[in-house]
Amino acid sequence: MPDPRKTFFITTPIYYVNDVPHVGHAYTTIAADAVARYKRLDGYRVFFLTGTDEHGQKVHQAAQKTGVGPQQHVDALHQRFKDLWKRFEISNDDFIRTTEERHKSVVRDILQRLYDQGEIYKASYEGWYCLPDERFWTEKDLVNGNCPECGRAVDKIQEHNYFFKMGQYRDWLSGHIRQNENFIQPASRRNEVLGFLNKPLEDLCISRPRERLPWGIPLPFDDNYVTYVWFDALINYVSVHGPLEEIRRCGFWPCDHHLVGKDILTTHAVYWSTMLKATGLELPKSIFAHGWWTVNGQKMSKSQRNVVEPNLLVDRFGADAIRYFLLREVPFGQDGDFSREALIGRINSDLANNLGNLLNRALNMLDKYYAGVVPAPNGQLPEDARLLDKASETARETHALFDHLGFNKILIKIWELVDAANVYINDMAPWNLFKTEEGKARLATVMYNSAEAIRTIAILIHPFMPETAAKIFRQLGIGESVESHGLESVRKWGGIQPGTKTAPGPQLFPRIEEEQAKKIMDTVQNASQAGTESAPAAQKQEEKLEQVSIEDFFKIDLRTGKIVEAEKVKKSKKLVKLKVDIGSEVRQVVAGIAESYEPERLVGRTIVLVANLKPATLMGIESQGMVLAASDNGKIVLAGFDEEVKPGVRVK
């Protein structure tokens, strides 16, 4: 049970709802999730917040183009983020939307209080406005006449607006940053903010005229204006806790970590800090600005056609492999260049060869020598001490590194323990011990230590790879959850009980062989040329499509179906037997997707089924329908939906 006296609050930015979720969004959210999961293991009462930013001019214009109202537009789009976080096993405690009343009421309250205190005034303003960033700039801010943030053209606008007296807090904020070295991390970002504050700090324009932008939270003291999207959005970090008088009593404020990309550091370090100061609330303990993921050295963007789509990554490699790679490959805070070659290398070396091989060989030997039952240790000898000491050292050193979000260093430390466990098995040579009666007495200790080392590793990797940690526990035969064991159980040796019956299962991470890797890389190359992760453009142009009549098309009965069971067909590398709920009945379907999807990843998915296809028999199993999927250079990708759809709905 968590200790009610130990609380921890961590946030991601709220993501702009018009954006397509990409691997950069996933990076921040996975990092926050890793910290939240670790703190829960350590007995903390954790509050982990993410959400979507749903106001502003870009949302309003996008809704107009689609012919729907802004609220209907954001109601549909925010779900993309929720669905992606489910796929990545994100354990957020709340998901806030800036269009929710609980948020808007706190924004209005803060605005009114600041206005009543004289912190907000009205004035005429003339400046350069960047529509993509929804931000005003002065003449001196512009770079070659363009927006200094995104490099795009700006428009000159003159209008009356309301301003927050941000400039008066410059010296105070600079002093706070200097006195609290962990307030902005890493140190390079801290120096950037201090450099920004060396220049005069302008007051912040916090309104937009409703005649120009009707989509936003109206100012409580002037209904002719709506709130500037950034002033509105930042308040989500406190509005989630309720009215202002509740924030101080909730137990979670001030926030322990705001995790943000480096491009929005100024808004958090300067705008948000001064807003909190004026409102009378404490500042967060830490704002950590991480780097960007680039592709071939360029920042990901739709215009560059280089966005790495995280849903496709999960389809191809599984969520835990991506979680591991993103937090292992680059020190948190630095930029990293995304490479699928590097990803495949990590999967094969770290996950398949090291971690997966350790579990497989230990379970195989337990099965061979002890019928799959963990034996009681027969005393510990000095030659065991190296492994036991390494486990204790790893738990201690990773704990310290979490305070500084040193994810890649933590994973390096954990993999040193993985290597130490593999070396221990090699050095102890159970296959030789089993040959003599004296050796068999020693063998019990060696096999117990191997199982306990793996249990320890599973707990330590849980923040990074929760599904993998749970699989290891199941294969070890441990009935309790990883969370119930907690960090305290790895600080002393002996958490796995002798007599535990193991349950070996599939490989954690099958190796990606050279031929399969080549297919993946060919797909990537084709996708970069076409600007999308789909079939090559040249191939599309060469295809000659045979036309059918609308009457013929309507003969096909396509239905939504939810997969409720999935298992591989014996003696077949490609076939999976599915049980699919189509509303009126559950169908048995055989699909050739085993090389692209593990059965456990299929359960719960909503797919499209050809429901009126004549039954066929494959490998002696009747198939009562056909699953729709795309074949992309040998990789099968199931057809699906952006939003949840109940089984049995007609697809048109």
- pLDDT digits over 421-454, tens only? 999 999 999 999 999 989 999 999 999 999 999 9
Helices (H) and strands (E) in the chain, counts: 25, 26
pLDDT tens, position by position, 45-73:
999 999 999 999 889 999 999 899 999 99
Residue 541 pLDDT > 50, yes or no? Answer: no
CA distances from 107 to 240, 388, 525, 583 (A): 11, 53, 47, 44
Q: What is the CATH number of the domain that holds 150?
A: 2.170.220.10
- The confidence score (pLDDT) of residue 600 equals 77
Q: Report long-range pairs for 242-249 (Cβ below 8 Å, ≥24 apart).
A: 242/102, 242/106, 243/105, 243/106, 243/109, 244/106, 244/109, 244/110, 244/113, 244/279, 244/281, 247/281, 248/281
User: Residues 6 or more apart from 480 whose CB is under 8 A from it?
Assistant: 473
265 and 213 housed in the same domain: no
In the chain, what is the straight-line distance between the N-terminal and C-terminal CA atoms, in Å? 50
Residue 537 pLDDT > 50, yes or no? Answer: no
Q: Is 467 helix (H, G, I), strand (E, B) or coil?
A: helix
DSSP H or E stretch at residue 542: helix 537-542
Of 334, 330, 331, the C-alpha closest to 188 is 334
191 and 240 housed in the same domain: no
Residue 628 pLDDT > 80, yes or no? Answer: yes
* pLDDT confidence bin for 595, thresholds 50/70/90: confident
Domain that holds residue 252: 3-109+233-299
Q: What is the CATH number of the domain that holds 580?
A: 2.40.50.140
Residue 542 pLDDT > 50, yes or no? Answer: no
364 and 447 housed in the same domain: yes
The predicted model gives 9-23 an average pLDDT of: 93
The predicted model gives 386-402 an average pLDDT of: 97
Of 458, 330, 300, 307, the C-alpha closest to 30 is 330
369 and 469 housed in the same domain: yes
pLDDT tens, position by position, 102-119:
999 999 999 999 999 999
219 vs 206: CA distance, rounded Å: 10
Q: What percent of the chain has pLDDT over 70?
A: 92
Of 490, 519, 536, which residue sits at a domain end?
490
pLDDT tens, position by position, 506-523:
999 999 988 887 777 666
User: Residues 6 or more apart from 117 whose CB is under 8 A from it?
Assistant: 278
* Segments of 281-367 assigned E as strands: 287-290, 293-295, 298-299, 336-337
Residue 535 pLDDT > 90, yes or no? Answer: no
The predicted model gives 216-243 an average pLDDT of: 97
The predicted model gives 323-330 an average pLDDT of: 97
Beta carbons of 220 and 181 less than 8 angstroms apart: no
pLDDT tens, position by position, 154-208:
888 888 999 999 999 999 999 999 999 999 999 999 999 999 999 999 999 999 9
Q: Is residue 319 part of a domain?
A: no
484 and 379 housed in the same domain: yes
Q: Is residue 533 part of a domain?
A: no
The predicted model gives 235-246 an average pLDDT of: 95
Residue 527 pLDDT > 60, yes or no? Answer: no
* Segments of 373-498 assigned E as strands: none
Q: Which of 361-365, 413-417, 528-532 has the lowest mean pLDDT?
A: 528-532
- The confidence score (pLDDT) of residue 68 equals 93
- The confidence score (pLDDT) of residue 526 equals 52
- The confidence score (pLDDT) of residue 269 equals 98
> Average pLDDT, whole number, for the chain?
90
CA distances from 544 to 539, 540, 541, 547 (A): 10, 9, 8, 9
The predicted model gives 359-384 an average pLDDT of: 95
Q: What is the CATH number of the domain that holds 457?
A: 1.10.730.10
Residue 539 pLDDT > 50, yes or no? Answer: no
- The confidence score (pLDDT) of residue 522 equals 64
Helical axes 357-370 vs 407-428, angle rounded to 10°:
30
Beta carbons of 331 and 406 less than 8 angstroms apart: yes
Q: Is residue 310 part of a domain?
A: no
Q: Which of 81-85, 239-243, 293-297, 324-328 has the lowest mean pLDDT?
A: 293-297
Domain count, the chain: 4
78 and 147 housed in the same domain: no
Neighbours of 529 (CB within 10 A): 12
- The confidence score (pLDDT) of residue 551 equals 58
- The confidence score (pLDDT) of residue 523 equals 62
- The confidence score (pLDDT) of residue 592 equals 85
Q: Is residue 79 part of a domain?
A: yes
Q: What percent of the chain has pLDDT over 90?
A: 67
Q: Is residue 553 part of a domain?
A: yes
Q: Residues 285-303, buried b or exposed e (16+ Cβ, 10 A)?
A: ebbbbbbbbbbeeeebeee
Q: Is residue 520 part of a domain?
A: no
Residue predicted with more confidence, 203 or 125: 203
Structure tokens, 256: 């322990």
571 and 450 housed in the same domain: no
* pLDDT confidence bin for 531, thresholds 50/70/90: very low
Q: Is residue 540 part of a domain?
A: no
Distance of CA 459 to the CA centre of its chain: 19
- The confidence score (pLDDT) of residue 249 equals 87
- The confidence score (pLDDT) of residue 302 equals 61
- The confidence score (pLDDT) of residue 641 equals 77
240 and 223 housed in the same domain: no
Residue corresponding to tokens 């830490």: 286
332 vs 58: CA distance, rounded Å: 30
330 vs 346: CA distance, rounded Å: 12
Residue 617 pLDDT > 80, yes or no? Answer: no
The predicted model gives 463-475 an average pLDDT of: 98
Distance of CA 606 to the CA centre of its chain: 21
Residue 344 pLDDT > 80, yes or no? Answer: yes
Q: What is the CATH number of the domain that holds 21?
A: 3.40.50.620
Of 168, 195, 227, which residue sits at a domain end?
227
Structure tokens, 477: 């035969």
- The confidence score (pLDDT) of residue 554 equals 63
Of 440, 467, 490, which residue sits at a domain end?
490
Residue predicted with more confidence, 504 or 530: 504
Beta carbons of 572 and 594 less than 8 angstroms apart: yes
pLDDT tens, position by position, 295-313:
867 777 665 667 788 998 9
405 vs 407: CA distance, rounded Å: 6
Of 422, 345, 421, 362, the C-alpha closest to 389 is 421
Residue corresponding to tokens 């090699």: 426
Structure tokens, 564: 């409720």
- The confidence score (pLDDT) of residue 534 equals 35
- The confidence score (pLDDT) of residue 211 equals 93
* pLDDT confidence bin for 399, thresholds 50/70/90: very high
196 and 89 housed in the same domain: no
The predicted model gives 350-364 an average pLDDT of: 97
371 and 286 housed in the same domain: no
Largest CA distance in the chain: 92
Q: Residues 463-497, buried b or exposed e (16+ Cβ, 10 A)?
A: bbbbbbbbbbbebbbbeeebeebbbebbeebebbe
The predicted model gives 412-427 an average pLDDT of: 97
Backbone phi, psi, residue 207, to 5°: -140, 165
168 and 272 housed in the same domain: no
255 and 149 housed in the same domain: no
Q: Is residue 353 part of a domain?
A: yes
